[in-house]
Amino acid sequence: MRNHLLCNQRGSVINIALLILILLTLLGVTFANLSSTDIKISGNGRTQNLSFYAAEAARGYVAAKPELYNSTNVTTTQPVSFPVAADAGVISTSLGSKQGFSGTVQYLGHGDPPRGSGYAADKFQAHRYKMVCEGVGPSNAKSTVEAGFYRIGF
């Protein structure tokens, strides 16, 4: 009887090897799909970061352009858009072939200078502004950064 059982198990090595090969193939396909998904996720994060950096560049643009927040922009009804049309030939709004920025600066009103600013409340006013900076990156990724700031004036 034992001889009969041993004779029937001669092809089992091939079957076990085939089963292990199928399992390893399934594991390989699963890991390939996971790495493909990870690559897509990191690519999406990169495009979103580029659009955010473009919006941050717009903040730097506003800081370098005092005409956006000077005494001519002291009405609370109409925000001023940027980039300024006069700068179109000098400063390109495109940070790269797939990035750009735009936005608005809006006057919010005036009040006393903040405590600790070193300005006397009876002599100076703090003119408050809000800027909305919009950045566009590759694949039409968009980011918006809102920031408030003030300037001290009479």
pLDDT for 91 equals 39
Mark the ranges of the chain whose per-residue pLDDT is less than 70: 1-10, 84-97, 154
pLDDT for 149 equals 93
Backbone angles phi, psi at 129, to 5 degrees: -135, 155
pLDDT for 85 equals 58
Three-state secondary structure call for residue 58: helix
Total number of residues shown for the chain: 154
Is the pTM above the cut of 0.85? Answer: no
pLDDT for 100 equals 84
Residue in 104, 111, 148, 145 with CA at minimum distance from that of residue 129:
148
Burial class from Cβ neighbours inside 10 Å (0-12, 13-18, 19+) for residue 140 reads exposed
Half-sphere exposure for 129 (CA within 13 Å, toward CB): 28
The domain spans of the chain are 2-153
Strands 100-111 and 142-153, by their bridges, are: unpaired
pLDDT for 3 equals 57
